[in-house]
Amino acid sequence: MTTTSREVRFSLPSLEVAGKVWGEPGGVPVIGLHGWLDNAATFDRLAPALQGVHLVALDLAGHGLSDHLPMAGYSLWQQASIVLQVAGELGWDRFALLGHSMGAIISGVLAGSLPERILGAAMIDGLMPFTSEADDAPKQMARFFKSSLAVGNKRKPVYDSVEKAVSARVLGGTTPISRDAVSCLVERGLMPDHGGWTWRTDPQLMLPSALRFTNHHAVSFIEAIEAPTMLVLANQGVMHKHPQVLDRIERFKHIQLHKMDGGHHLHLEEQAPAVAALLNDFYAALPARDVSPA
């Protein structure tokens, strides 16, 4: 695949979505979905090593260079619906997925909901969302309401240099990540503000979910996946904090599971070539008759 990407924008009915494209039409059509608070640059070190793939990596709504959603919070199904609208703009009736973290969870929702649309789903250190049970729904909704009322009163931080923004992301991130990897994400995630720099991301992304899937909901989506599915699990990633999730993953026999040393962003770190090798094998094995030119 070409080492350089090109920018793309999709004018959808309710918002504009930005993205980065690697490869040419005729390769396996793949939509790339990044993690929470990241952007399409999460694939900058992975994409150039992919072969025979036409990758369209999106800035999901509220992230990167894409528009923000109206005041209502963000949900997995809203983001998944936007992915389908982009696929329509591309003319892709069937396509494969490449998702990291939140993007992997959205990939699972799509693959489980619309198996006839998905050629294959490759996931990196993400599979099922955080869940809660039905009895917890009123308290969860209350947390959302209270936080949404306060979000307008919070100001984004302004940094006097890009380097200080990088340092803030390294120190304040929810998972360990190298400064080098953060630099890729920050370049696309900042905008000028009052003589300095602040985050482009929508403050609403920090709100608690209004509703969460129950564990039964989450498992049902994964069990409904029919397309070839692969999960690259980081041995020092986020899911190792949740033993019950790991146990469930081991029981999904229809998912190709590859465990690899590295942190949550291993695809953006020094493990990127090894992750790319797994992805190349995965996409190359998709049935040839299903791979249509874009």
> Which residue among the candidates 75, 101, 132, 147 is catalytic per the annotation?
101
Instruction: Give the span between the Cα atoms of 177 and 167, in whole angstroms.
Output: 11
Instruction: Give the span between the Cα atoms of 197 and 186, in whole angstroms.
Output: 10
Instruction: Tell which residue, 54, 35, 40, 36, has the closest CA to residue 9.
Output: 40
* 81 given a catalytic annotation: no
Q: Do residues 117 and 93 touch, judged by C-beta distance below 8 A?
A: yes
Q: Do residues 175 and 264 touch, judged by C-beta distance below 8 A?
A: yes
DSSP notation for 37-90 = T--GGGGTTTGGG--SEEEEEE--TTSTTSPPPPSS---HHHHHHHHHHHHHHH
Instruction: Give the span between the Cα atoms of 37 and 200, in whole angstroms.
Output: 10
Catalytic residue positions, numbered = 101
